[in-house]
Amino acid sequence: MREIYLDNNATTKVDERVFEEMRPYFCELYGNPSSMHFFGGQVQKKVDEARARVASLLGALPDEIVFTACGTESDNAAIRSALEVFPEKRHIITSRVEHPAVLTQCRNLTKRGYRVTELNVDGNGQLDLNELERALDEDTAIVSLMYANNETGVIFPIEEAARIVKKKGAIFHTDAVQAVGKIPLNMAESAIDMLSLSGHKLHAPKGVGVLYVRRGTPFRPMLVGGHQERGRRAGTENTASIIAMGKACELAEQYMADEAGRVRELRDRLERELTALIPNTRINGGGTDRLPNTLSIAMEFVEGEGILLLLSDKGICASSGSACTSGSLEPSHVLRAMGVPFTCAHGSIRFSLSRFTTDDDIDAVIKELPPIISRLREMSPFGREYLVQK
């Protein structure tokens, strides 16, 4: 059975060119980059090269790049740093649709006496910047808003939000894990103070991330010890994965136009065909800007778990939302915040494409999904009622 992988917002295939770049740094060039001898020095040069490659993709300076273990660490480090920088401030602003890496952290902080404002989204999953402006006050330490939603692909007006926040003197952080490598970013022209990204979302290995910290932004490290990362993140560097991250960012910069063009066309064709072939569907976030690779489609009168299992039987890998919350039987917190009707929220599926997605992959989903939905609706009492009325 041919594997059709359309769950790239959960994780991506490591590009073979990325793997080849990192391979020598396991068993051959295994020196510690902090060592003073030549054996470690040659590894340090590759780490420096990787830092420059990441910076190039972000339109940043190399010394603004801090390597971490993952996007979650980057998110946590950004929020905790801001609270240490402004110990007298007790207010955090985020949104109701953030990734658990941010949302769980903020909710846990309420148990320590912090005040957290979770901004609402509209039916398309979009922010109201007026609500953000009203929520800001002198007590706000940090605002953390995702650049693009991992479930729906909805892109927030992050640059405008950052400018509003900076006028109030708070730190602005964005979880850009899903956005980096898919849409152009330019930190040199941005008001963003800190930005998180993760290697395994752009064809690098799992276990490496980045926190961008704008030069001049006050920062307190979460991990302390050695001098690594200019004292901003202690611990011996994960050199092979850092080198892989650099190569992945170099390739992402080269393939940006492909994401915006060919991949978007594949996504749009999948969307058109499925909505034409399957009645009573809706596109979550379809009325606003979205990532070019992401399609969240809701189908009434069926359960997402059943859809995914039957798709998996056909070799098709998709998702019901975030891989970090997909074990829950509750409807997605993102779709609940958007006000998606209960009958749709449970039947929502996310297809997320990559540069390795082919026309044949899309053809397979178009062929297999409509009969799966018909079969599940015939088994559902609500679906049977719908078919009778039809």
Q: Which residues are catalytic?
A: 324
SS3 94: strand
- Distance separating alpha carbons of residues 267 and 262, to the nearest angstrom: 9
Side-chain half-sphere of 254: how many Cα atoms within 13 Å? 8
- Distance separating alpha carbons of residues 144 and 173, to the nearest angstrom: 5
SS3 109: helix
Widest distance between CA atoms in the chain: 78
Under 8 Å between Cβ of 196 and 78: yes
Other Cβ atoms closer than 10 A to 87: 9
- Distance separating alpha carbons of residues 268 and 47, to the nearest angstrom: 38
Q: How far is CA 264 from CA 28, 211, 268, 293, in A?
A: 40, 28, 6, 6
| Paired sense of beta strands 91-95 and 115-119, if any | parallel
Beta bridge partners of 297: 283, 349
Q: Which of 278, 281, 274, 363 is nearest to 315 (CA)?
A: 363
Q: What DSSP letter does each residue of 161-196 carry, written as one string?
A: HHHHHHHTT-EEEEE-TTTBTTB---GGG---SEEE
Tell me the backbone φ, ψ of residue 124, rounded to 5 degrees: -95, 5
- Tokens read off for 223: 């991990």
Q: Sheet containing 348-352: give its strands across.
A: 281-283, 294-299, 348-352
Tell me the backbone φ, ψ of residue 303, rounded to 5 degrees: -105, 135
